[in-house]
Amino acid sequence: MSESIETNRRAREQALAAMDRVRIEPTSLVNYQSHGRIAVIGDQRAHEIAPRLNEKLNPIVLLTEGAEEPGAPVIPVGGRSIHIEGYLGAFRIQLGEQGRSNAESVAVDLILDLTPQPLMQKGMNPPGYFHSAGEEDALLPLFEEVAQMTGSFEKPRYFDYDPEICAHGRSGKTACSRCIDICPADAITGLAETIEVNNYLCQGGGACATVCPSGAIRYVYPSAKDTLQRLRKLLTVYREKGGRDPVVLFYAASDDSLPDTIQTNYLPVMVEELASVGLDVWISALAYGARQISLVDSGAMPETVATAMQEQLLTGREIVSALGYPEGVIRLTDHEALFEEVQSVMPEIEPAGFSGIGGKRQTIYLAIDHLFAQAQRPKPMATLTTGAPFGTVYIEAKACTLCLSCVGACPGKALLNGSEGIPQLRFIEANCLQCGICTRTCPEDAIWITPQLIFDSDHRKKPRTLHEEQPFLCTACGKPFATHSVIDKMRNKLKGHYMFQSERALKRLTLCDSCRVVDIVQDPEAIGGDLDGQIRQ
């Protein structure tokens, strides 16, 4: 073994030990209670298997085909549909369509599904649901597992949620639904303007936090702060002990086939699920001095999660490429590729020292700013693919009336009104989530968004004016109260209305609230109910 390989090996051992000593902030627990009531769903085989279950279990057979036989209680399905909801200790099986005379509901703690195709086909089925269409040998280990599922069980609460910065919806419009679309456990549902996560269905996949553009939903076991602290310690100690060319290797806890003989400069970091680490962690690890980020895919990711990971990878690669680094420094790989020679690596840079105690976007910007400062020939900005959570806003000045409905709807506070009473629409690019709620809210279709990322921090954070007008002054008292475009639009729209047929009524639109009230009181036609100035017959 060469001296450099041995040095890397010793440095890795000490670095991994130092990382493991970093304290992870605990989270709260979610409790399940199971009394052993189990539904065995299937044909005649269900009859045979139910009596063989552990004596702690109380089976009931939902018979899909065949005749009833003595033994466990039986409910004939009789061609009715089977719909399952719930989780360990709280499953509800609906037979037939609700409201029909033959509909029936069954409540159980566990489900053993022996049908040819699983009745539940989520990316992550809930705890307490088991399926097997195999032969006897395949059922034996399943029997043992089911037998252990009685009593009280606990799991970590994996997420935290801040509705204040959630981009799901505003003003009755739905914008971002990324977490809902990606959740393989169907644990997230949308409400009017926020989301709701079912703690009992959530199994810690973490993809929801990875795709969230604002950081409203956060992975908390471990938190991004703890993960970054562990990574910084790992890379710092590895470097201090003489290790060279560190490659951070993320792999899922369920991946029990990770090769034992990986290269000595590979630093393996186990995470609950591969999708629980995203752009903020990848970019930060590069800023901490990693030469490459390798995400080891065992092929177990649900399809929706794998698609979202590819989208995140694309955004990450577009950013590092625009910074002037090889785009392949963030890669999704398999086990076999771990033995291949690393092609794309970061140049050696001065490691960053930020801690990651801020929000998700703040962490990403800190990492990008550090990489930008270290880059040799970066571009001024990255042009990103649609769906990226960074970007800009454009305004069609002729169409915009500065009603500012977009300002009130913007969840990231990227759109601002003017200062000192000036009708003005301003924009802070660093805050833009590219959620599209502004485009859905604008009554004039005057606004559109484009994904990009400006690297200059001052430019990114500085408010810039998108559109402004001189204020319209009340024609009676001179008080500013609207914009010229708003007044012109109102007059054009209302001049054909029966209430604004008289010149005085139409001119009333040019008055501020106070003067408008005074004019109405002084107008005999308005006070008399004849607002259109016409003599009623």
From the list 410, 418, 424, 426, the residue with the least C-alpha distance to 464 is 426
The angle subtended at Cα 486 by Cα 501 and Cα 436, nearest 5°, is 135
Cα(499)–Cα(520) distance, integer angstroms: 12
Cα(319)–Cα(380) distance, integer angstroms: 11
Cβ–Cβ < 8 Å for 478, 469: no
Residues in the chain: 537
pLDDT digits 0-9 by tens, 113-168: 999 999 999 999 999 999 998 777 778 889 999 999 999 999 999 999 999 999 99
Coarse DSSP helix, strand, coil percentages of the chain, rounded to the nearest 5 percent: 35, 25, 45
Residue 184 structure tokens: 């393989």
For residue 467, give the 3-state DSSP assignment: strand
Identify the pLDDT of residue 527. Answer: 66
- Ranges assigned E (strand) in 396-483: 415-417, 424-427, 447-454, 464-468, 471-473, 480-483
**Residues sharing a CB contact under 8 Å with residue 507, sequence separation 6 or more, in sequence order:** 475
315 Ramachandran zone, left/alpha/beta (phi>0; psi -120 to 50) = alpha
Write out the chain's pLDDT in tens, 537 residues. 578 899 999 999 999 999 999 999 999 999 999 999 999 999 999 988 999 898 899 999 999 998 777 778 999 998 899 999 999 999 999 999 887 888 999 999 999 999 999 999 999 999 999 999 877 777 888 999 999 999 999 999 999 999 999 999 988 889 999 999 999 999 999 998 999 999 999 999 999 999 999 999 999 999 999 999 999 999 999 999 999 999 999 999 988 778 878 899 999 999 999 999 999 999 999 999 999 999 999 888 999 999 999 999 999 999 999 999 999 999 999 988 888 877 889 999 999 999 888 899 999 999 999 999 999 999 999 999 999 999 999 999 989 989 899 999 999 999 999 876 678 999 999 999 999 999 999 999 999 999 999 999 999 999 999 998 888 888 889 888 777 778 887 777 777 777 777 788 888 888 888 898 888 888 887 766 554 444 333
Identify the pLDDT of residue 171. Answer: 82
For residue 287, give the 3-state DSSP assignment: helix
- Helix runs in 21-93, H state only: 44-49
According to DSSP, the β-strands at 415-417 and 188-190 are: unpaired
What single-letter amino acid sits at 110? L
Identify the pLDDT of residue 437. Answer: 95
Residue 424 structure tokens: 């003005």
pTM over 0.85: yes
For residue 440, give the 3-state DSSP assignment: helix
Residue 259 structure tokens: 């090769």
Identify the pLDDT of residue 529. Answer: 56
Beta bridge partners of 293: 248, 330
Neighbours of 425 (CB within 10 A): 24
Query: Which 3-state string (H, E, C) describes 212-274?
Result: CCCCCEEEECCEHHHHHHHHHHHHHHHHHCCCCCCEEEEEECCCCCCCCCCCCCEEEEEECCH
Cα(171)–Cα(431) distance, integer angstroms: 19
Neighbours of 366 (CB within 10 A): 21
Give counts: helices (H), strands (E), the chain: 16, 28
Cα(462)–Cα(23) distance, integer angstroms: 37
Cα(193)–Cα(172) distance, integer angstroms: 7
Compute the Cα dihedral for 309, 311, 314, 320 and give only its sign: negative
Identify the pLDDT of residue 72. Answer: 80
For residue 281, give the 3-state DSSP assignment: helix
- Ranges assigned E (strand) in 325-421: 330-333, 381-383, 391-395, 415-417
Residue 166 structure tokens: 């959630």
Cβ–Cβ < 8 Å for 311, 345: no
Cα(314)–Cα(331) distance, integer angstroms: 10
Q: Which residue has the tokens 């018979």?
A: 63
Identify the pLDDT of residue 531. Answer: 46
Cβ–Cβ < 8 Å for 127, 32: yes
Domains of the chain: residue spans and CATH: 3-23+222-379 (no CATH), 32-153 (3.50.50), 157-219 (3.30.70.20), 391-468 (3.30.70.3270), 471-527 (no CATH)
Beta bridge partners of 60: 39
89 Ramachandran zone, left/alpha/beta (phi>0; psi -120 to 50) = left
Q: DSSP letter at 373?
A: H
The angle subtended at Cα 189 by Cα 187 and Cα 193, nearest 5°, is 145
Identify the pLDDT of residue 95. Answer: 96
- C-alpha distances (whole Å) from 2 to each of 140, 261, 348 are 49, 16, 22
Beta bridge partners of 83: 94
